[in-house]
Structures are given as structure tokens and as C-alpha cells.
Amino acid sequence: MRIGVLGTGVVGQTLAGKLVQVGHEVTMGSRQAGNEKALAWAAAAGDGAHEGSFADAAGFGEVVINATGGMVSLDALAAAGAGNLAGKVLIDVSNPLDFSKGMPPTLSVCNTDSVGEQIQRAYPDARVVKAFNTVNAGVMVDPGQAAAPHNLFICGNDGAAKAQVAGLALSLGWPAEDILDLGDIAGSRAMEMYLPMWLRLASATGSWQVNVKVVTPPPA
């Protein structure tokens, strides 16, 4: 499959690298084609790895992944262009972490809205699926590194789009039974507001690979 990955940070590089490894063709997009990090990534990732502008990457992808920081995601997507997103599955991995006020980071949007919802509203023709934002980049592409089962959360308004993202997660190593659909795109609020908990869990356990397994009582 052709995938456009927006963002050249750790999350973008990690996801894009693994997606090439498992056989996809990926264009990494950044503000301007020729970005140093994107060029270095494409050179190292080998066949099937390309780079370009946000618009190049979005236009290239049958699926587009927003791996930019949540505070700049709407700008990045505006640069990508509505026409390059229309009808496509748009996986939003972002978290609106604001480090400008010191540690711990706050969220630039939360409680009554979320980045996932903002993106879906701004691009009603895109099929937005929030996913992968509740684990670190290494776990996203190597879930087996934790000994016990743990969950990948997804949400979005389009069932077929969510099924496609679940399929992509399968190809990254996530067992189907660990992928948990949290409902419509407003679930982004829950998934983004979970971040302060995730940061505390990482600190308490001393592991950035921390994640959670959802537990319910056995059926009566």
C-alpha cells in the first residue's frame, strides 16, 4: 500500500520505517521537500522510502498518517491540502502536548474538544481514525516487546476506516484481540486526555514502553 507519513520526528520515523519494512511504500512529508531528517530517513530506509512536502506525502498516500505534534497538526494538514485528504483514511497519532509552560506538559486542547475531532471537522471528507497515540513509538511498531497482552485503542466515525487501521496494526504486530474500538471520533478526547496518566505511568514504572491491558470481570 502507498502511505503518506506527515512528520519527521521520532514517531514519524519509527512508523514510516516499520511500514517500509513490512512492505509498504512510504513518502515522509515535511514542511518543505528536501528536509534533512526526511532525506536521511529515506536514504536509510531503502527501497520504497521517499520524501517530500506535506502535500507530496498526502497526495502519494492511499492512507495518510498524521505524526506531527498535536499543536501544529492543523497547520500541517492545511499544507497537505484538503484535496489530498478527501476520501482517504487519515490516521491521527498526534497528542496536543504543550511543553511551553514547563513540566509536566499541559494539553493545548482537551475536555470539550480534541485534535482528532478538530481534524475530522476541518476535513469532513477525510476518514479520520485516532490511533497509536497512547503508546510510545517503539511500542507502536513492536507491541510484542511487552511480556503480557496490552491494548491498542482506536476510534473514528467510519467503521470501514477503522477496520483498515486495525489491519495496518495487525501488520505491525498487534494481535487482533488487543485492538479495542472506543467508538466515534469524540473518543479522541479520552485518548488524548489519557496522556497525563501515561506520563505518570511511565514515571512510576520507569518504562517508556508502558501500556495498559483492559480488564473486565468474566461474563456472569
Q: How many CB atoms lie within 10 A of CB 99?
A: 11
For its own copies, the closer CB: 48 or 196: 196
Region near its own copies per CB under 8 A, out of 28-36, 54-62, 102-110, 165-173: 102-110
For its own copies, the closer CB: 74 or 212: 212
Region near its own copies per CB under 8 A, out of 8-16, 20-28, 51-59, 110-118: 110-118
Taking CB under 8 A as the criterion, the residue among 58, 91, 155, 179 binding its own copies is: 155
Quote the cell numbers at residue 26: 512510504
159 is an interface residue for its own copies by CB under 8 A: no
Parallel, antiparallel, or unpaired: how do β-strands 25-30 and 49-53 relate? Answer: parallel
Q: How many CB atoms lie within 10 A of CB 193?
A: 16
Residue among 89, 84, 110, 108 nearest 97 (CA): 108
133 is an interface residue for its own copies by CB under 8 A: no
Cα 82–Cα 135–Cα 187 angle in degrees, nearest 5: 55
Cα distance between residue 8 and residue 53, in whole Å? 11
Taking CB under 8 A as the criterion, the residue among 104, 124, 167, 175 binding its own copies is: 104
128 is an interface residue for its own copies by CB under 8 A: no
Cα distance between residue 41 and residue 30, in whole Å? 12
Q: Would you tell me which residues interact with its own copies (CB under 8 A)?
A: 101, 104, 106-107, 110-112, 145-150, 155, 180-183, 186-187, 189-191, 193-194, 196-197, 199-201, 203-205, 207, 209-218
